[in-house]
Structure 1
Amino acid sequence: MNEGSSGERGTTERVLTLLGLLQQRQVWTGPELADRLAVTPRTVRRDIDRLRALGYPVHASQGVGGGYQLGRGQDLPPLLLDDEEAIVTAVALLLGAGGALTGSADTALRALAKLDRVLPVRLRQQVQTLTGAIDSFDGGRTPIDPDVLMTLARACRDHVEAVFDYPSSTATATGTRRVEPYRLVASDRRWYLLAYDLDRADWRTFRVDRMTAVAARTWHFDPRPAPDPAPYVQDGVTTRVYPEQAGFLIRAAADTVRAQVPPSAASVHARDADTCELRSGAANLDAVLMHVALLGHDFEVLYPPELIARRRSLAIALGSAASGNVPSEPMSELPEDS
Structure 2
Amino acid sequence: MAATSARALKLLSIFGVGATLTAEELATRLGASVRTVRRDIDTLRELGYDIEAVRGAGGGYRLGSATRLPPVVFDEDQAVAAAVALQTAPAILSGIRENSARALATLQQAMPARSRVHAEAFTVSAARNYWEFPAAPIDAEIVHLIGEAINRQHTVRVDYTGQGEPATLTLEPHDLVVWAARWYLVAFEPAADRWRAMRIDRLQPRMPAGRAFDRRELPHGDPVAFVMSTHDRGDTPAEWPCRGSAVIALPAPVVARFAPGGSTVEHETDSSCRLTLGAWSWAGLAGLLLTFDADLTGIEPAELRQALRSLRIRIDRGLGDAR
TM-score, L = length of structure 2: 0.45
Larger Rg, first or second structure (1 or 2): 1
